[in-house]
Structure 1
Amino acid sequence: MAKIVLSLGGSILVPSLESHTVSEYVAALTEMATRAQVFVVVGGGGEARRYIRAARSLGISEASSDEIGIMVTRINATLLMLALGDAAYPAIATSYRQAREFGESGKIVVMGGVTPGQTTDAVSAVLAETVGADVIINGTSVDAIYSADPKVEKDARRYDHLTPAELLGIISSARLDAGSNTVIDIVAAKVIERSGIPLAVIDGRNPRNLVVAVCEGKFEGTIVSEGACSPFPL
């Protein structure tokens, strides 16, 4: 069976205290798990960034601020894991070794952050190497990778396909402060380049986009790989 690592933004899963997409993701992940073994790495989203801003205002170091952000990612991961019920391994993984071991159950494995200085995108890329994933999916708040933030620059170029080297060229100036928020960070991009595992950037605001890509091969977004072929359907 194919293996998927999904990097799921916290702002996609829990965009505010008043709304969330957890139920929709439970349905989507359960369906995807009929076609592939699924590992999910959940980010901290806006809540993590709010805590990190509060930490900085108190003079707390970037490393310690990262630790606080990791705690928030694990809260989000726990929320998703519990909502998945019997479909998920009944604990969140806190290391790559644990995630690999939990995956032997055949259930969906959920985890959050691991190491200060690494975003959950980087965690997803390293996890994909660890478990030998066939594809990494980045469920994000944009519909593809652009040459610049399309919410800021209306004439930003949209990419259907990039090589890992081209992706690195686009994001090489990204900052890595605690709570940084880019479509994917440079550490993740470098791991993707060395591993050769394809990355698919998909609009995660509608979880059905992921199901349609994985199960039907109808993909809209950006593929990052040396070749232009889509890894879908699995």
Structure 2
Amino acid sequence: MPDAQPAHKRILLKLSGEALMGDDAFGINRSTIVRMVQEVAEVVHMGVQVAVVIGGGNIFRGVAGGAVGMDRATADYMGMLATVMNALALADAMNKQGLIARVMSAIAIEQVVEPYVRPKALQYLEEGKVVIFAAGTGNPFFTTDTAAALRGAEIGAELVLKATKVDGVYSADPKKDPSATRYNQLSFDQAMNQNLGIMDATAFALCRDQKLPIKVFSIFKNGALKRVVMGEDEGTLVYA
């Protein structure tokens, strides 16, 4: 029998910086990032085009104390630089695993990474390269969730994957309420009415307006990413 084909051909994976920490207080846990890259490599080898937006909280957390009282825009630009550091680490791990990764930054640091140019990003994806979008949207006051929604819409992603430590969206905090149940799927309106906080309001509204579905799943479950792209029952789907 022929191998099953992926249900999704182009995805945007949103990784928080905290996902790279493993059990560390801040920074990058090498074994954690290598395991994540192996998950990504598995779906890339199936022919899925993968773009990634990554946060910077794991690195910024280490300097957060000094940012108290800082101008918000300045702090946000520092956070953008943290995402560039994470993107470089992720690309390095991917290249060592046999993938070809390209980092594209929303702010100009051309000696380090290339600037974000949409046609070039699409070309890379069609060539089978992994594109890592760094520096958020390039603007303060916008989160990397919003960057994920924006870049997902720009590249024509079929699905935005919100990778978390929890295997979906629950009716309550499963750590505090053992009776909490996981939703298999939710409409955008249901998620907003229940104030589930899946993404920040700007990102969520952009996905809803563009009819870009979101899948919330655990990046720490072995094989979860593959099950998501195959269309299996993994995580929670939020749809228009």
Query: TM-score range with shorter-chain normalisation?
Result: 0.7 to 0.9
What percentage of aligned pairs have identical amino acids?
Answer: 28
In 1: Cα distance, 2:213 partner to 2:152 partner: 10
Secondary structure class of the residue paired with 1:87: coil
How far apart in 2 are the matches of 1:50 and 1:201?
27
2:100: which partner in 1?
A: 88
Displacement, 1:141?
1.2
One-letter amino acid of the structure 2 residue matched with residue 80 of structure 1:
L
Matched to 1:130, the amino acid is E
Q: Give the aligned partner of residue 153 of structure 2.
A: 129
Mapped partners of 1:211, 1:43: distance in 2: 22
Q: State the distance in 2 between where 1:36 and 1:205 align.
A: 20
Q: Secondary structure at the match of 1:91?
A: strand
Q: CA deviation at 1:68?
A: 1.2
- Given that 1:93 and 1:102 are in contact with CA atoms closer than 8 Å, whether structure 2 keeps it comes out as no
Task: Describe the shift of the 1:189–1:90 C-alpha distance in structure 2 as closer, same or farther (beyond 3 A).
Answer: closer
Q: Which residue of 2 aligns with 1:23?
A: 34
Query: Cα deviations across residues 196-219 of structure 1 (Å, max 9, x unaligned)?
Result: 0111000112352112221x4333
Cα distance change of structure 1 residues 130 and 225 upon mapping to structure 2, 3 Å threshold = same
Equivalents in 2 of 1:139, 1:93: separation in Å? 21
TM-score (norm 2): 0.78
1:8 Cα deviation after fit = 0.9
Counterpart contact for 2:57–2:79, Cα < 8 Å: no
Which residue does the alignment assign to 2:17? Answer: 10
Name which of 195, 201, 221 aligns with 1:186: 201
Aligned residues: 214
Residues 1:125 and 1:154: Cα distance change in structure 2 (over 3 Å): same
Q: What is aligned with 2:211?
A: 196
Q: CA 1:167–1:159 in structure 2 vs 1: closer, same or farther (change >3 Å)?
A: same
Structure 1 191/18 Cα, relative in aligned 2: closer, same or farther at 3 Å?
closer
Report the Cα distance in structure 1 between the residues aligned to 2:74 and 2:223, rounded to whole angstroms.
Answer: 36
Closer, same or farther in 2 for the Cα pair 1:161/1:53, shift >3 Å? farther
Higher mean displacement: 158-167 or 188-197? 158-167
Q: Please report how far the alpha carbon of residue 11 of structure 1 lies from its aligned counterpart in structure 2 after TM superposition.
A: 1.3
Aligned partner of 1:128: which letter?
G
- Whole-Å separation in 2 of the counterparts to 1:69 and 1:18: 15
Q: Does the aligned pair in 1 maintain the 2:28–2:58 contact within 8 Å?
A: no
| Structure 1: distance between partners of 2:12 and 2:79 | 21
- TM-align CA RMSD: 2.5
Alignment pair present for 1:116 and 2:131? no
- Report the structure number with the largest CA radius of gyration: 2
Give the superposition deviation at 1:63: 1.7
Q: Which range is displaced more, 18-27 or 135-144? A: 18-27
One of 185, 193, 196 as aligned partner of 1:161: 185
For the structure 1 residues 99 and 80, does the alpha-carbon distance in structure 2 shift closer, same or farther, using more than 3 Å as the test? farther
Query: Residue 4 of structure 1 contacts residue 36 of structure 1 at CA under 8 Å; is this kept in 2?
Result: yes
What secondary structure, in the 3-state scheme, does the structure 1 residue paired with 2:199 have? coil
Instruction: Select the residue among 82, 99, 122 that pairs with 1:103.
Output: 122
Q: 2:74 is matched with which residue?
A: 64
How far, CA to CA, are the matches of 1:206 and 1:12 in structure 2?
A: 12
Query: Which residue number corresponds to residue 3 of structure 2?
Result: none
Q: Deviations over 1:30-53 (max 9, x none)?
A: 221233211001112333234334
What is the deviation of 1:168? 2.4
| 8 Å CA contact 2:33, 2:93 repeated in 1 | yes
Q: Structure 1: which 5+ runs fail to align?
A: 173-181, 227-234
**Residues 99-156 of structure 1, C-alpha deviations (whole Å, 9 max, x = no match):** 5523302210012323222221111111111011111111111111134443445555
